[in-house]
Amino acid sequence: MASRKDEKNEGTARSDTNNPQGLQQQQESVIRSIDETKDNIRVAVEEARQEIPKYNQVVKEYQNDTIDASRQIAESYLDSQKQVINSMQSVWNQNMNQMRSWWGMQIISPQMSADMYTRIASSFADATIAMARIGNNMMFANMEAAKTSMNYARDNAKELARVTANFTGTFEQSSREATNGRPSEEVERRRQR
């Protein structure tokens, strides 16, 4: 049960959409609203663009920190191994000399063992740095994939907007012709055949 006031408001609303001036006001209101939304989006985009240098700095710092950490891990490992080798070398030499004299055979020298161990440790350090580089490359690959996805989304949105606008225009034209009782050019061509 609507009150007379509600009925009057509905009647006014209906008459606003039926008269050209009311329709024009509605269209202007919608256009103004869309333009304001566009302006808000532009402001948000500019604010996001202002943040880009900060994000670039964060990524650069992350990469530098990762590389520095990898270097420090490798250096710490090599330093500890140097200490182990130095402390064990004198004992190792005594044992090797004693074993050689007992069995009379050539055994790997402490120097050869130290060289082999150094190569292994160096290989470990190289692998650590390579893994950091691979991690950074994966991060950039993901960033490139996201960029490509955004480009496709942008292009698809443009195409969807174009198709929607064409559909709406065709719908509007067909509706007007149906309202005015005039057939569209396509219908007219079919009749003439």
- Lowest average pLDDT, out of 14-28, 33-47, 60-74, 90-104, goes to 90-104
pLDDT at 13: 46
**Do 110 and 93 contact (CB within 8 A), yes or no?**
yes
Q: What is the pLDDT of residues 112-158, one digit of tens each?
A: 777 777 788 788 878 888 888 888 888 888 888 888 888 898 899 88
- From residue 192, how far is each of 35, 113, 136, 170, 185 by CA, in Å? 45, 100, 69, 22, 11
Q: How much is the average pLDDT of 164-184?
A: 80
- Structure-block tokens of residue 150: 């955004």
Inter-residue contact 53 to 61 (CB < 8 Å): no
- Does residue 26 carry a pLDDT above 60? yes
Query: What does the pLDDT read at residue 163?
Result: 92
pLDDT at 185 over 80: no
Residue 108 pLDDT exceeds 70: no
pLDDT of residue 4: 52
Inter-residue contact 86 to 54 (CB < 8 Å):
no
Percent of the chain with pLDDT over 90: 3
Q: Bigger pLDDT: 73 or 110? A: 73
| Per-residue pLDDT reduced to its tens digit, 63-78 | 888 888 878 887 887 7
Tokens representing residue 119 in the block: 């190569």
**Strand residue runs (E) in the chain:** none
- Greater confidence, 166 or 97? 166
- Is 111 a residue whose pLDDT tops 60? yes
Distance, CA of 193 to CA of 186 (rounded, Å): 11
Interatomic CA distance for residues 180 and 61, integer angstroms:
68
Q: Is the pLDDT of residue 94 over 70?
A: no
The answer to pTM > 0.75 is: no
Q: Yes or no: say if 126 and 75 are a contact pair by the CB < 8 Å rule.
A: no
Q: Is 2 a residue whose pLDDT tops 80? A: no
Residue with tokens 């950490």: 69
The more confidently predicted of residues 97 and 52 is: 52
